[in-house]
Structure 1
Amino acid sequence: MKSSSSAPLSFSSSQQMAVSSYLPDECWESIFRFIIIDDNDDDCNNNSHYLSFLSLVSKRFLSITNRLLFSLTLHDESTYCHLFKRFTNLNSLDLTGNYIDLDNLLIEISRFPLKQLTSLNLSGQPTIPTIGLRAFSQKITTLTSLACPLIEFLNPSDLFLIAECFPLLQELDLSYPLNCKSCSSYVDGVEALSLALTRLRKVNLSGLFPINNQSLFYLFNNCKQLEEVKLFKSCHKITRVGLASALRERPTLRSLSFSGMEDDKLFSTSQFIDSLVSLKSLTCLFLHNLNISDELLYSIAREGLPLTKFVLLRCTGHSNDGIIDLLSKCQRIQHLDLRYTDFLKDQHVLELSSFLVDLVSINLSCCHELTKSALFILVRHCPSLSKIKMENIGDKIVRNSLRKFGVYPQLKSLYLGYNSWLSDEIITMFASIFPNLQLLNLKDCNSISEGICEVLRKCCKIRHLNLAYCSRVKLHGMNFVVPNLEVLNLSWINVDNETLYLISKNCCGLLKLSLKLCNGVKMKGVKHVVENCKQLRKIKGVKHVVENCKQLRKIMSDERLILLNKLIE
């Protein structure tokens, strides 16, 4: 019996009983875990829909899949009760967004037996919900990760509350608060956090978090297990002496992220350099918008720090010699980011690629001296490379022979947005060279038109395709099945009913579709997508179409109309 890949298998009730009775629940659970295994690609990954289909087979399968949902995001505080009764094994809860009464919601959630909950996200709230968090912490004592970024008003007293309520925290994110008092007002709160959170391993105090030398010293000195610190754009009260002193207090640090500071020459001083290279366990170094020197890069190379991730984003003051010296000595690097390195040319990429045998991902976006030849150099010399970002690079014309480059099946993700030189001929060539692409981002590549259909034909594993702002793109030639496509962004391009019909017919596994500011979209085309793409979870940019359609109930059943209203974002 043949089954369509665009729809789940259907069973009679007798077949369901027969199938599910053969194996114990533990075996089915193992099978389901294998089906929804994460492929570690955030841009493509969305496994909850597999659980939805499995749960429809039988009540027994529903019970098993309920136990396999570990992460939950709430959008509406009025519909949560039945969810917490169903999903008792939750370990992650996301309450990002606006709620009428978050304090009361947290109190109610604490009444459910969420004995495995370890992560809570409260991003974007007006204030820290102190009453709710206190009640929550008294009932749910397993929390190890708390994220409260983008809090509009973060008070010094909030730090004392967190220290009191969640002593088991290993990860804390208080980044990008919007309105804070002076740094001195928070010193005691940071000290309380550093003394109470003895297990803290990761902390993010980026943005305008009010931190100074004294607070930083408390953090590094008292948190003995601290491994990862992020301080993007929050260091305006930290001096070279304060930073160097703090680093010496935590020699076991594994990940350090800094961005632009008032003391622009801080990262070129011998005092800072000596402190940095004393971090013998450092595997991740992220430097953003800083004036650094070749001497810093030479020093890291001489010490042979075990870096696996190295980022120089918008940094100045150094040269290619410094980068080459570092990469030649630190050859464990798997993730490299050199965005906005203006002096970087193709021959430099050829030189550095010989040291990157373990490279998995690289970002060379906005390196305007590079050409597409750099891309071929990388895939030829880096056998483990699966992800390349080369957005907004140089537009010099370089003629290459397709036969010259061969096939590179290891590449899975390719970001080439904002490259006006990218033509149908070139992307068709890329499709032949990189047949296993799963993610392709061509945002704002306005020279592409019908060639994208040939890409979809050749790269049958594509799951995520971004064509936003590609004004000349035409999909009328897509008269073939695209079996694995899950995320499609067509914002700001000319999409008509015929295009949406082809998408609905040939991309039945679609989960997310973005049609923002696609003026040609009509209700008839939207109907095709909603009717035929049974797995669709979100559709953006059609709200105005739906609201302006007076004939809506005549062209769609009540069931599909209800579904459409749920999908619209």
Structure 2
Amino acid sequence: MVASYLPDECWESIFQFIIDDDDYNRCHSLNSLSLVSKQFLFITNRSRFSLYVYDDSILPLLNRFTNLKSLRIARYYNDLDNLLLNISCFPLKLTSLSFSHQPTFPAKGMRAFSQNITTLTSLTCSVIDSLDNCDLFLIAECFPLLQELDLSYPLNCQDNYPACLDDGAEALSLALIKLRKVNLSGFNMSNQSLFNFLNNCKLLEDFIMFKYSYDITNAGVASALRDRPTLRSLSISSVNPLHKESRKLFATAHFIDSLVSLKGLNCLVLVCLRISDNLLYSIAREGLHLTKLVLTRCRFYSYAGIFCLLSKSRRLKHLDLQDADFLNDHHVTQLSSFLGDLLSINLSHCDELTKSSLFALSTNCPSLREIKMERIGSKSVENFDSLGEFGQHPQLKSLYLGCNSWLSDENIIMFSSIFPNLQLLDLKHCDRISEGICQVLRRCCKIRHLDLTMCSNVNLLGMNFLVPKLEVLKLTYAKVDDKTLYVISKNCCGLLELSLEDCHDVTEKGVKHVIENCSQLREIKLENIQQCLSLFFSSSFDNFSSYLSCLNQE
């Protein structure tokens, strides 16, 4: 019985104490609490700070969620100008707005939005088909309080449509005096414009520029960085891999000098660049206190360089060495001894590694919560018959082992004993997995996200027990039929998302079982399943609150 005599303020404090700060978990917890009573519904409405917008049906809810701070407009294919006009009519104090994949920038809607909602500090408008200088002028004029801006990957700035945005970039840099974070990935501007941008934005701390313009040279990047000593986070990648600039050594002496001059830098993300051990030696020598280091698909550095840096970087929490093909199990064991505070690591596409590295990391890094080791070596590992030597490592929450064709039922059952608190398990493209996945689900009862995409031999028929916390299940191109869906519908009552693309043995009968029994289901993907087309067009299930996705049908 709910203690209704307690005032709303007390319950609100209790909710804030027990609800996870993570956006996804927070939303799920609020949904559950709102079902308890009308009083809890009212309180949770006030406690909801972010909302996803998929269609116009969300508009009436804006009167309920009076404390909204963030709106993310996703997969919206109607008139975005009109939607923004309607949103601007509500007395909201939004600080964050995000939309993407639009044919044009919604100038009319954004101007109306800015006139009525003047509190915006974060704006994301990425992957806009056509973004021009006039759009950037409008942002500069209408949103002077912006601290975060994401303009990444405008399609008209790609190779075939190199629209130059120098004038707009200069207007932004002069108007947005409070800007602290900017993403200009795929953005077309010159060396001089980049230099002016970093020079004008005096408070800039986080700069992201993946796949930068052909007109920007390595020397231009180095010069611009030296002019912004406040940077704490830097994320850059190569131009096009085939471009002449990408074939040069990125970590020149000029770039290294500029980088190590950023004394407050704690996050460095380099992708698809030619770097050198000298860069890593210099960072170690200057004592930059990195907490995140990403060297995804970088070349021309070696174990000597990464050893030198990691041995001096005792505060590191996130490490990504994807495609470091020189690494072996012995190297990982040595490096793990320096990484006591590590929270996440990515060692995918390191061909010399085996599951020995996985065990070394989980043993030597007591804080580790996430491991990515996709497409690693298939060499067998000796002397791993006894689980006792590893014990349990309950701290690990996410494990990505996709594209490991050697991975067997025996392996994943062993992992489930060692990592009993897994919440995310990614096994996509592991075609030797069969009935063993049922034992994993029984032992790892906290799993929320399971990816079995392209697991052609997976068998879930033995799942004769409840898996109440499973929320996302991906079975694209997996061995799934109506009997499997019946088992899923009976035992995975908490499912929010189910992917069944290209599961050609699935029919309307199996999908109906899922929709009728999984009352929380928000999304089911049925691409390329002809047998379910009539169900899609005639669906009238009251408990299915979002949509059936049957795209790409011929």
Task: State the TM-score bracket (shorter-chain normalisation).
Answer: over 0.9
Cα pair distance change 1:427/1:485, threshold 3 Å: same
2 CA distance for matches of 1:467 and 1:166? 44
Q: 1:346-366: CA deviations, max 9, x gaps?
A: 111112111111111000001
- Partner residue of 2:105? 128
Once residues 137 and 434 of structure 2 are traced to their aligned partners in structure 1, the CA distance between those partners, rounded to angstroms, is: 57
Judge conservation of contact 2:157–2:163 (CA < 8 Å) in 1. Answer: no
1:58-97 pair list within 5 angstroms:
58-77=37-56, 79-97=57-75
What pairs up with 1:385-464 in 2 under 5 angstroms?
A: 385-399=368-382, 400-401=384-385, 402-464=387-449
Q: Tell me by how many angstroms 1:94 deviates.
A: 1.7
Deviation string, structure 1 residues 466-491 (Cα, Å, up to 9, x no partner): 11111111111111122321111112
State the match for 2:248 in structure 1: 265
- Measure how far apart 1:232 and its partner are: 0.5
Q: Secondary structure at the match of 2:173?
A: helix
Rounded to whole Å, the distance in 1 between the matches of 2:390 and 2:438 is 22
Task: Name the CA shift for 1:147/1:184 in 2 (closer, same or farther; >3 Å).
Answer: closer
State the one-letter code of the partner of 2:140.
A
Alignment-mate amino acid for residue 398 of structure 1? V
Find the aligned partners of 2:495 and 2:513 in 1 and give their Cα distance: 13
Structure 2 vs 1, CA of residues 49 and 376 (structure 1 numbering), >3 Å: closer, same or farther? closer
Q: Deviations over 1:128-157 (max 9, x none)?
A: 111211111111100000101101011111
In structure 2, C-alpha distance between the alignment counterparts of 1:243 and 1:173, rounded to whole Å: 19
Structure 1: runs of 5+ lacking an equivalent: 1-14
Give the distance between the partners of 1:290 and 1:73, measured in 2 at CA. Answer: 35
Asked if 1:151 corresponds to 2:114, the answer is no
Pick aligned residue for 1:548 from 519, 525, 534: 534
Q: Contact between 2:526 and 2:532, CA under 8 Å: does it hold in 1?
A: no
Aligned mate of 2:202, from 211, 215, 224 = 224
Give 1:54 shift: 3.2
Aligned to 1:511: 496
Distance 1:36 1:536 in 2: 21
Q: Deviations over 1:11-61 (max 9, x none)?
A: xxxx6xxx3531101112223334542347xxxx34434433433444333
- Matching of residues 280-319 of structure 1 within 5 Å: 280-319=263-302
The worse-fitting range, judged by mean Cα deviation, of 520-529 and 217-226 is 520-529
Structure 1 counterpart of 2:295, one-letter code: L
Query: How many pairs align?
Result: 539
Q: Look up the equivalent residue of 1:452 and give its one-letter code.
A: I
3-state SS, counterpart of residue 124 of structure 1: strand
Q: Percent identity?
A: 63
- Alignment-derived partner of residue 353 in structure 2: 370
Q: Which residue of 1 aligns with 2:552?
A: none
Code of the aligned partner of 1:88: T
Q: Deviations over 1:478-534 (max 9, x none)?
A: 111223211111121121222222212222122211111112222232222222222
Greater alpha carbon shift after TM alignment, 539-548 vs 79-88: 539-548
- Which residue does the alignment assign to 1:191? 170
Q: Deviations over 1:352-398 (max 9, x none)?
A: 11111111100000111111111111111111111000000111111
Q: Distance in 2 between matches of 1:260 and 1:53?
A: 45
Distance 1:502 1:191, change over 3 A: same
Contact kept in structure 2, 1:84 and 1:112, CA below 8 Å = yes
Tell me if structure 1 keeps the 8 A contact 2:522–2:545.
no
Distance 1:50 1:546, change over 3 A: farther
Structure 1 Cα separation of the partners of residues 33 and 415 of structure 2: 37
When residues 358 and 466 of structure 1 are mapped into structure 2, their CA distance, relative to the original with a 3 A threshold, is same
For 1:221, give the aligned amino acid: N
Q: Indicate yes or no: 2:182 matched with 1:203.
A: yes
Q: Please give the secondary structure, in 1, of the residue aligned with 2:136.
A: helix
**TM alignment of 1:524-535, pairs within 5 A:** 524-535=509-520
Q: 1:341 Cα deviation (Å)?
A: 0.9
Residue matched to 2:325: 342
Residue equivalent to 1:10: none
SS in 1 for 2:101: coil
Q: In structure 1, the residue corresponding to 2:97 is in which secondary structure?
A: strand
Deviation at 1:191, TM superposition (A): 1.4
Alignment CA distance shift 1:46-1:161 (3 Å): same
Displacement after TM superposition at 1:245 (Å): 1.9
1:241 CA drift (Å)? 3.2
Task: Assess if the C-alpha contact under 8 Å between 1:494 and 1:519 holds in 2.
Answer: no
Task: Evaluate the alpha carbon distance shift between residue 473 and residue 81 of structure 1 in structure 2; reply closer, same or farther with a 3 A threshold.
Answer: closer
Of structures 1 and 2, the one scoring higher in RCO (CA 8 A, sep 6+) is 1
- Given that residues 156 and 162 in structure 2 are in contact (C-alpha distance below 8 angstroms), is that contact kept between their aligned partners in structure 1? no
Question: Does residue 174 of the first structure (1) align with residue 154 of the second (2)?
Answer: no
| 1:7 aligned residue | none
CA distance in 1, matches of 2:377, 2:80: 49
Check if 1:482 corresponds to 2:462.
no
Gap change, CA 1:245 and 1:454, over 3 Å in 2: same
Q: Deviations over 1:108-134 (max 9, x none)?
A: 21111002x011112111111112111
Q: Is 2:479 the counterpart of 1:494?
A: yes
Matches within 5 A, 1:51-62: 51-62=30-41
SS of match in other structure, 2:294: strand
Per-residue CA deviations over 1:250-304 (Å, capped at 9, x if unaligned) read 1120000111144343533211111110111111101111111111111011001
| Inter-CA distance 332–517: structure 2 relative to 1 (3 Å threshold) | same
- Tell me, in whole angstroms, the C-alpha distance in 2 between the residues paired with 1:506 and 1:459: 15
Q: Secondary structure at the match of 2:314?
A: coil
Query: Does the residue aligned with 2:224 lie in a helix, a strand or coil?
Result: helix
Picking from 239, 244, 263, the partner of 2:222 is: 244
* 1:75-126 CA distance string (max 9 Å, x none): 223x2431221112111112233443322222221111002x0111121111
- Give the direction of change, closer, same or farther, for the CA distance of 1:240–1:55 in structure 2 (3 Å limit): closer
Shift of 1:423: 0.6
Secondary structure, aligned partner of 2:450:
strand
Show CA shifts across 1:229-255 (max 9, x none).
Answer: 111101422223322221111112000
Displacement of 1:313 after TM fit?
A: 1.0
Distance 2:9 2:325 in 1: 56
Residues 463, 98 of structure 1: alpha-carbon distance in 2 compared, 3 angstrom cutoff: closer
Letter in 2 for 1:358: D
Does the 8 Å CA contact 2:371/2:400 hold for their aligned counterparts? Answer: yes
SS in structure 1 of the partner of residue 167 of structure 2: helix
Check whether the contact 2:521–2:545 (CA below 8 A) recurs between aligned residues: no
Higher mean C-alpha deviation, range 364-373 or range 25-34: 25-34
Identify which range, 99-108 or 387-396, moves more after superposition.
99-108
CA contact (8 A) 2:148 2:179 kept: yes
1:163 partnered with 2:140: yes
Q: CA separation of 1:56/1:352 partners in 2, compared to 1, >3 Å: closer, same or farther? A: closer
